Chain A
Amino acid sequence: MDTPAVAVRGLVKRYGTVEAVRGIDLEVARGETFGFLGPNGAGKSTTINILCTLVEPTDGHAEVVGLDVVRDRAAVRRRIGLVFQDPTLDAPMSGEQNLRFHQELYGVDRRRAPARREEVLRMVGLWDRRGDEVRTYSGGMRRRLEIARGLLHSPQVLFLDEPTIGLDPQTRGTIWDYVAELHRSEEITVFVTTHYMDEAEHCDRIAIMNEGRIVALDTPDALKAQVGADRVSITTDDDEAALRALRTELGLEGAVREGAVTIAVPDGAGFVPRLFDRLGGHGVAIRSVTVTRPSLDDVFLAHTGSTIRDAEAGPSMHPMAMRMRR
């Protein structure tokens, strides 16, 4: 178990003159849930396609569970599970037929196959619908079936490329519940790409990718701590008095923003009791308080100079990388 699940050194992918991936280094430990974040066209899909042996790198080196993705393609494919962002199910076949098809393609031991099918179908809550044609499944059910299928041959690394794209928020939450569940029961490494910043919170570590490079890599909390302090906003009857009290009692400079007094502090939640204590003593009545932790959006902004939504709309997107996403 000493070899990392994923090891990447100096990875480059060029399409003609366009550099979709511009030299990235990465190591993912066994059992980790690793998030790959970035706007569309950042090079996430190209990277994941290289790791899944679907695209050959122009330069650099990539290993999955210690196997070279170029030289040991078939061996890598037997050890990984794949869930693509576009659906890859056969709609006229039933859910279980889709799974059986997959087991035969991957040479899963026939004696063990039915039990394993039941196991994964129960895990994603589709056991009762196993005999129905996939065409009758909802979008969320299809995605769950694909995740179940990705697990059938007991892979060591599960790659999920935008597993929640195009799903409603509630279903997105459910998919992440399954990923977490899977993590507990299968001791598997999960490598997931997303461009929903809030979803990255589910990961042990995340890498933020922008324009073909990894611009930040750490745990979500560490990344947020890097960009700075929590924001505490209070509404009061007398903002001027509140500002004065903050200055004299706590030595803090507040500012009035959008009708609220806002203070930046390292630990917002721990600061609130002290705030009430000191300002109350000055006769300043606090009517409401909001503590905002820095979000990964703030992290993205700090590292790339734009919000993820702006980056998606912006001209810096690689046209080739977009084409490759198909």
Chain B
Amino acid sequence: MTTTVRPEALHIPQSSLVTETRAATVVWQREMIRFVKDRSRILSSLAQPLLFLFVLGTGLGSLLNSSAGGTVGFTTFLFPGVMAISVLFTAAFAGISIVWDREFGFLREMLVAPVSTASILVGKALGGASVATLQCLVLLALAGLVGVPYDPLMLLAMIGLIFLMGFMITSLGLVLAARVRQVQTAMPLVQLVITPLMFLSGALFPLSGLPTWLTVLTHVNPMTYAVEPLRSVVFDHLDVDAATRARFDPGIVWGSWHVPVSVQILITVASCVILLALAVWRFRRTE
């Protein structure tokens, strides 16, 4: 191996944290460019959460309100859950979109670059998380309609948690996409995985008084630990008595241990790391 520096070698950058960060950043930027260009996607992906919130929420709410006292409506309960559903679909789609990149060849341009696969996928995951968060900003603006106050600290905390959830789900989408070669197989796969995650997460109903089998399923679902902190933040800023809170926001109970929100967030962070590492491993093996 030659150790002499050739003149033309002077301009060749070495692999470093700087080059890896630039790579991740530009991948993220590309996701942003696509998001801004694709306005129809922004609108169409808002329809589903709005239906959940105002149609399902109001419909089921009228059923519940007859027996429930207090000021908290079912739509208030559903508000953070609907955020989670929006994140789930937006971020999973962002992750799986790498199948399109593969189909159109652009994935190859990214993976042959002299940067690690991890940097590329981190950029993708950050992009998915950003897109999911931007989508949710529209929903957050509707907080007042469902009795949630516009508390800046609460909104800030929610945005942070939504971003984290988006990162996790985009990473999951990347794991799913690693072996998918055809765009047609991608969408059914997302439905197959995302729909159970949605139903088993506590986004649509409180996780108390459930039969054991359902409790077990919700507890092994990483989404559960991303949804619950979001609801907890909302209820922290509501004026409700302990009984109502226990009914709508019972938290997560392992045996007899109430899992603290900080631990839930730690579990979500760990899920992000594990899923992203899994995605990197699978992409390294397949490309």
Contact = CB atoms under 8 A, between A and B. Distances in A.
Interface of A: 1, 3, 52, 54, 66-68, 73-75, 77-79, 82, 84, 86-93, 97, 100-102, 104-109, 154, 156
Contact of A93 (B15, B22, B33, B108): B33
Contacts of B23: 104-105, 107
Contact of B109 (A74, A88, A154, A156): A88
Nearest to A102: B109
Contacts, number: 80
B144 interface: no
Contacts of B25: 104
Nearest to B13: A107
A156 B2 CA distance: 16
A86 B15 CA distance: 27
A107 B30 contact: no
Interface in B233-261: none
B105 interface: yes
A294 to B, nearest CB: 38
A137 to B, nearest CB: 13
Contacts of A86: 105, 108
A78 B26 contact: no
Contacts of A93: 30, 33
B145 interface: no
Interface size of B as a range: 20 to 34
Interface stretch (B46-54, B86-94, B112-120, B276-284): B112-120
Given A74-B114, A104-B26, A106-B114, A89 B11 contact: no
Interface of B: 1-2, 6, 8, 11-13, 15, 18-19, 22-23, 25-26, 30, 33-34, 37, 101, 104-106, 108-110, 112-115
A101 B112 contact: no
In the A-B complex, the 3 residue pairs with the smallest Cβ-Cβ separation, listed nearest first, are A104-B26, A107-B19, A107-B13
Contacts of B30: 90, 93, 101
A79 B15 CA distance: 13
Instruction: Say whether chain B's binding surface is mostly helix, strand, loop, or mixed.
Output: helix
B12 A88 contact: no
B104 A90 contact: yes
Contacts of A54: 112
Contacts of A82: 112
Given A90-B106, A102-B109, A106-B114, 5 more contacts: A75-B114, A89-B106, A90-B101, A91-B104, A102-B113
A97 B33 contact: yes
22 contacts: A68-B1, A77-B113, A78-B114, A84-B108, A86-B105, A86-B108, A88-B105, A88-B106, A88-B108, A90-B30, A90-B101, A92-B33, A92-B34, A92-B37, A101-B26, A101-B30, A106-B114, A107-B22, A107-B23, A107-B114, A109-B13, A154-B11
Nearest to A133: B37
Nearest to B18: A107
A84 B26 CA distance: 22
A74 B15 contact: yes
Contact of B105 (A87, A105, A156): A87
Given A90-B30, A101-B26, A105-B26, A78 B13 contact: yes
A79 B11 CA distance: 10
